[in-house]
Structure 1
Amino acid sequence: MKLLLLLFAGLKFGKLFTTGGTMLVSVVAYAWIFGWWYAVGFVGLLFIHEMGHYAAARQRGLDVGAPTFIPFLGAWITMKDMPADVETEAHVAIAGPFLGSIAAFGVYFWALQTDSRLLLAISYSGFFLNLFNLLPVSPLDGGRITAIISPRVWLLGAPLMVALLFYRPSPALFIVALLAAPQVWKAWNYDPNAEENRAYYDVPNKVRVEYGLIYLGLTAVLAIMTYHVHEMLTSGRPF
């Protein structure tokens, strides 16, 4: 609660109005399909994810806009100041899935304590949302994190994106794939010896390893929890 109050304190009234208004529109849209309480929980987890990005960007002195929501497409923050180097970009990117995962775990344990399948379903959406965002292709968070290793990692993420698009086709996934296409082309043409690339991507190998381990660890935990909670929801067995 204290963390949320601190995050809200960093938002000006106009930003709060924009965020609150678009959150409300999203809640209403999701409620038509999934019901009010699920919609509130899902949008709440989206908000916490985005505030992770917001807080990390502000910590690094970047000017960023408040979270904006669009139903069935998700949410994002606008970067008014671009990161000066790839480590800053990775730092801001990983903060969203990290804080979002903590929130999903909170809802999961709450579900176990109350035997609530609704809360369990909300926690599943949180685990899956953050796992999806860790796909190693830009503009998703995973692409911005793995860029610290090399933008060429996006060439591995592209087939995963296409596979997911075929497995779970949706307009939102299609839009993300379209946004990722120019980044994949950029990775294909990446020249590590170009002066601008050396300036932006030059970080110590220790830092690359640290972010790589955090990324793999968080991805593994989210993959396990997504599968675990999905099995709990589909088995029909009591908790």
Structure 2
Amino acid sequence: MDKSRSRSIWAGIGVFLLAKLKWAIALLKWTKFGGTFVTMMVSLGAYAALYGWKFGVAIVYLIFVHEMGHLVAAKRKGVKTSPAFFIPFVGAMVNMKEPLKDAATESYVAYGGPLAGLISFLPAVALYEYTGEPFWALVVFLGAMINLFNLIPVTPLDGGRIVSVLSTKIWLIGLLILGVYAVISMSPLIFLILIIGIFGWWNRGKESYRNGLLSCEKKKIEAFREQISQWPSLTSTWDLKRSMQEQLASAKSRMGKENARFIPFWDDDKKLVREQAKMDEHYANQTLALL
């Protein structure tokens, strides 16, 4: 039987089963893991159509175990998630239904994927050693590539979320690595991940800076209100004026050069010190103006 005839027969069987089981597919869509099953089958079909069913089963299996690692880690931390959702030729994703409490929790959930992914292809190592079949070597290679790629320290990859507990500045190293790989591979998907990573790096860096500035301003306002509430009981403003003069001198020494330039994200700590000094100067001047 030639290949074209064989494909026609299998296609006919597929259409028949689809027609008979469409009610089951409709039911699956409304179940908790129905979306996972349907999207997994779509991805499997897409990979199988281009690379054969053995390759399709292997890569879908590796991705599935990887995503289950995230789900298990999230459950251990009490984080609510959506079921895994497969995207052909991209991979799969799990959405968090609530913001993660801190960087440590985010790192733990992210780490679950590559850890499960590592375990997923270990049986293929033993099978390759036992049988010598090239297919098992392919499974090992795919598993290693999927998980090592995900460990590049840049968001939205797992590696970027893992190192966020240390410092998001490490993301810059990941961006450089991913940028080199994007140029070498010329893959549109890698360029897309690179663009997302750049925006994520920028936003996370600015988020830390903004939160620091807002926290400082909140403390200054609270201290200013507390100070004003004590003014009616003061017998003399001499000590307060002297304290404000000392605060002005300290603020000016911390501001540094007026025309100093800062590298975005990398010098945000220095810029935050300068902005805090400007804030101290402003409130000191306001206090002196009211006395």
Please, what TM-score do these two structures have when normalized by structure 1? 0.73
Q: 2:131 aligns with which of 104, 114, 119?
A: 114
Q: Which amino acid aligns with 2:118?
A: S
Shift of 1:192: 6.2
Match of 2:133, as an amino acid?
S
SS of aligned partner of 2:175: helix
Separation (CA, whole Å) in 1 of partners of 2:188 and 2:127: 32
Residue 128 of structure 1 aligns with an amino acid whose one-letter code is M
Instruction: State which of 56, 62, 76 in structure 2 corresponds to 1:39.
Output: 56
The one of 46, 49, 55 equivalent to 2:72 is 55
1:27 aligns to what?
A: 44
Q: Tell me the CA shift for residue 171 of structure 1.
A: 2.3
CA distance in 2, matches of 1:66, 1:77: 6
How big is each residue's C-alpha offset from its partner over 1:87-109, in whole Å with a ceiling of 9 and x where there is no partner? 00000000100110111222222
Counterparts of residues 15-164 of structure 1 (less than 5 Å): 15-164=32-181
Mark the runs of 5 or more structure 2 residues left unpaired by the alignment: 1-28, 216-291
Contact 1:155–1:188 (Cα < 8 Å) also in 2: no
Runs of 4+ in structure 1 off by over 2 angstroms are: 186-198
* Aligned residue number for residue 183 of structure 1: 200
The percentage of aligned residue pairs carrying the same residue is 35
Question: How many residue pairs get matched?
Answer: 187
**Residue aligned with 1:69, SS:** strand
| Equivalent residue runs for 1:187-206 within 5 Å | 187-189=204-206, 191=208, 194-195=211-212
Q: Following TM superposition, by how much is the alpha carbon of 1:188 offset from its aligned partner in structure 2, in angstroms?
A: 4.9
Letter paired with 1:147 = S
1:169 positional shift: 2.0
TM-score computed with the length of structure 2 as normaliser: 0.60
Paired amino acid for 1:175: L
Secondary structure of the structure 1 residue equivalent to 2:32: helix
TM-superposed CA distance for 1:34, in Å, is 1.4
Distance, in Å, in 1 between the alignment partners of 2:75 and 2:30 is: 17
**Superposed CA RMSD:** 2.1
1:194-224 Cα deviation digits (max 9, x unpaired): 44999xxxxxxxxxxxxxxxxxxxxxxxxxx
Q: Decide whether aligned partners of structure 1 residues 34 and 185 sit closer, same or farther in structure 2, where only a CA change above 3 A counts.
A: same
1:85 aligned partner, one-letter code: D
What is the DSSP-based 3-state SS (H/G/I as helix, E as strand, rest coil) of the residue aligned with 1:15? Answer: coil
- Contact 1:155 1:187 survives alignment (8 Å): no
Which amino acid in the other structure matches residue 82 of structure 1? P
SS in 2 for 1:139: coil
Deviation at 1:168?
1.4
Residues 1:14 and 1:195: Cα distance change in structure 2 (over 3 Å): farther
State the alpha-carbon separation in 1 of the partners of residues 214 and 90 from structure 2.
31
Partner of 1:234: none
**What is the CA distance between 1:152 and its match in structure 2?**
1.0
Q: Which has the larger radius of gyration?
A: 2
**In structure 2, do the counterparts of structure 1 residues 20 and 197 end up closer, same or farther at CA, with 3 Å as the change threshold?**
farther
AA at the equivalent of 1:109: A
Where relative contact order (Cα < 8 A, 6+ residues apart) is larger, the structure is 1
Distance in structure 2 (CA, Å) of the matches to 1:188 and 1:88: 19
How has the CA–CA distance of structure 1 residues 22 and 32 changed in structure 2, closer, same or farther, with 3 Å as cutoff? Answer: same
What is the match of residue 165 of structure 1?
Answer: 182
SS in 1 for 2:31: helix
Residue 174 (structure 1) shift: 2.0
Q: Any stretches of 5+ residues in structure 1 without a counterpart? A: 1-11, 199-239
Q: Quick one: distance in 1 between partners of 2:84 and 2:186? A: 26
Between the aligned partners of 1:62 and 1:190, the Cα distance in structure 2 is: 22
